Amino acid sequence: MNAFRFLHTADLHLGTPFSGLAKQLPPEWLRRVQTASYKVFDRIVDIALEERVDFVTVAGDLFDSTSVPMAVQFELARGFERLRDADIRVLVSHGNHDPLGRLRPLAWPDNVTVFATAPPVPTPDYRVPSTVFTIRRTRVQVSGFSYGQPEIYQSLADYFERDATVDFALGLYHGAVGQAGDHANYCATRLENLLRRNFDFWGLGHIHKPSVLRAHSPAVVYPGNPQGRHVKEEGERGCLIVSVDGAGRVEMKTRVTGTVVWRMLEVDISGIDDLSLAVHMVLRSVREAVAGTGAAYVARVIVKGVTALHRDLGAQDEFESTLEQELMNASLPVLLEGVEIKTRPPVDIDVLAQSSEFIGEFLRSVRSCRGDVQAARRFLKPLLGEVFHDGYDLSFDRLSDAEIDELLEAAQNLVLQHVGEGGVTA
Ligand SMILES: [Mn+2]
């Protein structure tokens, strides 16, 4: 076989409305983030042309939803045309966000292959659709399926079949391989199930955090979404350039695509008892995080540590606007998305916990909850049921163990802030 290369991406979520950010970001930054997301396919096309790849694969969630603005569909078509003009074919599978058949009818140029939908419950004779093409006398198979509805739970790994005549077989799989983390368990399967199919490369989609589940023979990779959409999708984002040599060996590199980078910055101010030093430390950590990449950043700053400033920082809004002002003065390309204060006052919690007053009882119950997450859930659910009502993202039961622990710590810190004031004494 001869060497070739391709670009793999997934989870572009074109047309994402960023409804949650409208309140948090000033209008010009909201526009910047929106543009970054709408234009991400353009940057991917630029990279494909620059890297002279032979084809491009997309493993689902090209669109954020089936009701994206029509203009977004046309913009995508223009990107496909630029690839067609460079003789680059595109292989697309649709995911849970953009199930096939629910989108407006708009024909793509003829360099684009869209994989047909998989039945939600396949019959034993079902096979995932494949297309085979030749690049400089090398026969390449790409197999993939589209979602025809927003939810498919069954693993489809066993329905991939290698064509015996090809030099290289590539599978596109939009779903949860191994641990799904925060993502829904769609098409949940295990790495072993994919490995059994004797393919040479698995281009995954669905999980937005980039991760290499296996580096070679075969490589199994989540490229991550090429543009983060909120602070939990932090860090530089990109697409994968995969080079295959004459022996079928795979080499991967990431090309950065995101122009707005989200950052979660933890700053430990333990022992600092002067506000200007605290602000200085935050600024230094921001400066280090954004050094020399040319991207625009949106950062959430988390201030932690044991400090006598704990009570002063309790006026979070004031600290946030001060930081905003100081960041602006330092002319760093950073917008503050928010500030979380997770400091603790320099008090001896062990001593306080022995108190027979409210504070002792409070600290003891926090401690016992933190030692037993099931007990914590039983204790907190009736108290927080009103706050975390049963919406998709807001239900109490969807909180992870780590989030429960964070809540408990935040409650403890809030109460400790008032130690020494009237009513809360050791
Ligand atoms: Mn997705």
Q: pLDDT digits over 152-192, tens only?
A: 888 999 999 999 999 999 999 999 998 766 677 889 899 99
Tell me the per-residue pLDDT of 6-58, one tens digit each, with 9 for 90 and over. Answer: 999 999 999 887 777 777 788 888 888 888 888 899 999 999 999 999 999 99
Burial (CB count within 10 angstroms: exposed 0-12, middle 13-18, buried 19+), residue 110: exposed
**Per-residue tokens: 105:** 């009818």
Tell me the per-residue pLDDT of 107-143, one tens digit each, with 9 for 90 and over. Answer: 899 999 999 999 988 999 999 999 999 999 999 999 9
Residue 220: CB partners within 8 Å, gap ≥ 6? 177, 191, 194, 195, 201, 202, 204, 212, 213, 214
- Output the pLDDT for position 46: 97
Looking at 256, 273, 304, which one is the last position of a domain?
A: 256
Residue 98 CA to ligand 1 center (angstroms) comes to: 9
H or E element at residue 305: strand 296-306
Chain-wide mean pLDDT for the chain? Answer: 89
Q: Tell me, yes or no, whether 126 and 196 share the same domain.
A: yes
Range of the domain at 341: 260-345
Residue 248 CA to ligand 1 center (angstroms) comes to: 29
Looking at 345, 378, 394, which one is the last position of a domain?
A: 345
Q: Tell me, yes or no, whether 37 and 171 share the same domain.
A: yes
Looking at 318, 345, 372, which one is the last position of a domain?
A: 345
Residue 339 CA to ligand 1 center (angstroms) comes to: 27
Q: Tell me, yes or no, whether 340 and 353 share the same domain.
A: no
- Output the pLDDT for position 342: 87
CA distance 349 to 365: 13
Residue 61 CA to ligand 1 center (angstroms) comes to: 5
Residue 173 CA to ligand 1 center (angstroms) comes to: 12
H helix and E strand count, the chain: 11, 15
Residue 258 CA to ligand 1 center (angstroms) comes to: 15
CA distance 375 to 103: 46
What is each CA distance from 95 to 292, 314, 343, in whole angstroms? 35, 44, 41
Tell me the per-residue pLDDT of 332-379, one tens digit each, with 9 for 90 and over. Answer: 888 888 899 888 888 888 888 998 888 899 999 999 998 898 888 888
CA distance 60 to 279: 43
Q: Tell me, yes or no, whether 110 and 121 share the same domain.
A: yes
- Output the pLDDT for position 104: 81
- Output the pLDDT for position 181: 66
- Output the pLDDT for position 390: 58
Q: Tell me, yes or no, whether 226 and 112 share the same domain.
A: yes
Q: Tell me, yes or no, whether 39 and 55 share the same domain.
A: yes
Work out the pLDDT band at 389, boundaries 50, 70, 90: low
Residue 232 CA to ligand 1 center (angstroms) comes to: 14
- Output the pLDDT for position 391: 55
Q: Which of 269-283, 304-318, 375-389 has the lowest mean pLDDT?
A: 375-389
Q: Tell me, yes or no, whether 251 and 339 share the same domain.
A: no
Q: Tell me, yes or no, whether 203 and 95 share the same domain.
A: yes
Q: Which of 92-96, 169-173, 291-295, 302-306 has the lowest mean pLDDT?
A: 291-295
- Output the pLDDT for position 424: 52
Higher-pLDDT residue of 405 and 390 is: 405
CA distance 394 to 243: 43
Q: Is the pLDDT of residue 421 over 60?
A: no
- Output the pLDDT for position 138: 97
Residue 38 CA to ligand 1 center (angstroms) comes to: 15
H or E element at residue 328: helix 316-329
Residue 192 CA to ligand 1 center (angstroms) comes to: 23
CA distance 297 to 234: 10
Q: Tell me, yes or no, whether 84 and 48 share the same domain.
A: yes
- Output the pLDDT for position 239: 97
Chain centre to alpha carbon of residue 94: 18
Q: Tell me, yes or no, whether 355 and 300 share the same domain.
A: no
Q: Tell me, yes or no, whether 160 and 287 share the same domain.
A: no
Tell me the per-residue pLDDT of 61-115, one tens digit each, with 9 for 90 and over. Answer: 999 988 888 888 999 999 999 999 999 999 999 999 999 988 888 889 999 999 9
CATH number, domain of 133, equals 3.60.21.10
CA distance 128 to 118: 7
Look at the chain and report how many structural domains it folds into: 3
Residue 101 CA to ligand 1 center (angstroms) comes to: 18
323: left (phi over 0), alpha (psi -120 to 50) or beta: alpha
Q: Tell me, yes or no, whether 236 and 288 share the same domain.
A: no
Residue 242 CA to ligand 1 center (angstroms) comes to: 21
- Output the pLDDT for position 423: 44
Tell me the per-residue pLDDT of 212-232, one tens digit each, with 9 for 90 and over. Answer: 999 999 999 999 999 998 888
Residues of the chain with pLDDT > 90, as a percent, come to: 52
CA distance 218 to 75: 34
Residue 13 CA to ligand 1 center (angstroms) comes to: 7
Residue 235 CA to ligand 1 center (angstroms) comes to: 17
| Partners of residue 212 on adjacent β-strands | 221
Residue 12 CA to ligand 1 center (angstroms) comes to: 7
Residue 127 CA to ligand 1 center (angstroms) comes to: 24
